[in-house]
Amino acid sequence: MPPFDLPEGDPFGPHNLPYGVFSLPGASERTVGVRLGDQVLDAAAAARALGSPHAALLARPTLNALLAAGRTTWSEVRRSLTEAVTDPAHRATVEPFFHPLSAVTLHLPFEVADYVDFYSSEHHARNAGAIFRPDGGDSLLPNWKHLPIGYHGRAGTVVVSGTEIVRPSGQRKAPTDAAPVFGPSVRLDIEAEVGFVVGVPSAHGTPVALGDFREHVFGLTLLNDWSARDIQAWEYVPLGPFLAKSFATSVSAWITPLEALEDARVTPPERTHPLLPYLDDAATEPAGYDLRISVALNGHVVSEPPFSSMYWTAAQQLAHMTVNGASLRTGDLYGSGTVSGPHEHERGSLLELTWNGRDPLELPDGKRAFLEDGDVVTLSAWAPGPGGVRVGLGEVSGRIAAG
């Protein structure tokens, strides 16, 4: 069996162990699994066979019970699963609980509570500002360097990788149009993002401090914030995105625990403006993550956004979204905002890559300004891990269906 014989340096080796939820063919029960190479280990069955006290936490149809259990338990579960898949003494016991990834169905791994999306890449904000407000002077709005801009999205339409994305319909009106028209979006786009998954809730009325980020956040996942630019351009003033983004948000089937990303932690870009104390991270431990994202359109890589270039960290986003006393719930998901680096090939949306359609991409199957029906978008990523071994993040993929 391959799990114990993974090739050296496999990005889904025992140093990684992302969590997901799967079911077997013909079975309706869902249960928690961890990925090892191209196999998934039934974590509850392995824990039960090894006499682990955590079996009940893992024999669940979602990750939510594990998410709520807190940091000490997260570490204990991870330690015992690492032992289960690396200790030769356990090999015969756990081997029957591995299944090839190709033979299982992967599900949305957690029940999403609230969903928030940020706008924390300075390069993305400047590009979007220049595109949407060409005569607006500074492409960055005056508040941008003082707080992480965000909006509340729609938790109920967060879907797992592989779910078909039906082209949304809505109102659009170009500045030159006399009146709005209704129909399928003609400017359907992606946003390459990283989503952070909250485990431990917070009390209503009590802000979460910057330094408590890792007490609350369990892990991260790749996220594609599908966006209808034509609907967005007409509806977003003055309250921000609404129907342009609420039709679907895709996440990977795999949640990578923050504990697997210790070697990927980096200091965020230099702060150019003084920050209010609740956001001031000058004296805190580095909360940036060096994640190398790759965006493929129909199998062709069109962009490689570097997450380390994000101005606002996930710790600052968490502190900001609770500073007014808003509480966290287990299963809350918050997106980083489109990840765009300083270079043209590092832009995380077609809006930026094609400069709002002006400069279409040349793909092997033709030119592309925005997404066409049948297009498949796949985000993948890796991070530096222990001893130079990569930590693979589970991909998030979606195919566009006619609306």
Q: How far is the CB of 67 from Mn ion (least distance, A)?
A: 23
- Shortest Å distance, C-beta 150 to Mn ion: 9
CB 269 within 8 A of CB 36: no
What is d(CA 247, CA 225) in angstroms, rounded to the nearest whole number? 10
Q: Which is nearer to Mn ion, 202 or 349 (CB)?
A: 349
Tell me, what amino acid is at 396? V
Q: Which of 298, 197, 251 is nearest to 396 (CA)?
A: 251
The strand ranges marked E within 199-243 are 217-224, 227-228
Task: Please state whether beta strands 115-118 and 333-335 pair in parallel, antiparallel, or not at all (unpaired).
Answer: parallel
List, in sequence order, every residue forming a beta bridge with 99; answer none if it has no partner. 40
Of 225 and 281, which CB lies nearer to Mn ion in the complex structure? 225
- Of 42 and 225, which has the nearer Cβ to Mn ion? 225
- DSSP E strand stretches across 249-332: 249-251, 256-257, 265-266, 288-289, 292-297, 300-303
| Cβ at position 151, least distance to Mn ion in Å | 9
Q: Which of 250, 243, 242 is nearest to 226 (CA)?
A: 250
Task: In the chain, count H helices and then E strands.
Answer: 10, 26
How many C-beta neighbours within 10 Å does residue 308 have?
18
Is 54 a catalytic site residue?
no
Residues at the interface with Mn ion (CB under 5 A): 117, 191, 225
Q: Which is nearer to Mn ion, 110 or 115 (CB)?
A: 115
Least separation, in Å, of the C-beta of 38 and Mn ion? 30
Candidates 361, 280, 349; CA nearest to 117 is: 349
Residue whose CB is nearest to Mn ion in the complex, by number: 225
* Shortest distance in whole angstroms from residue 237 CB to Mn ion: 17
Question: 15, 124, 216, 320: which is the annotated catalytic residue?
Answer: 124
117/281 with CB nearer Mn ion: 117
Catalytic residue numbers read 124
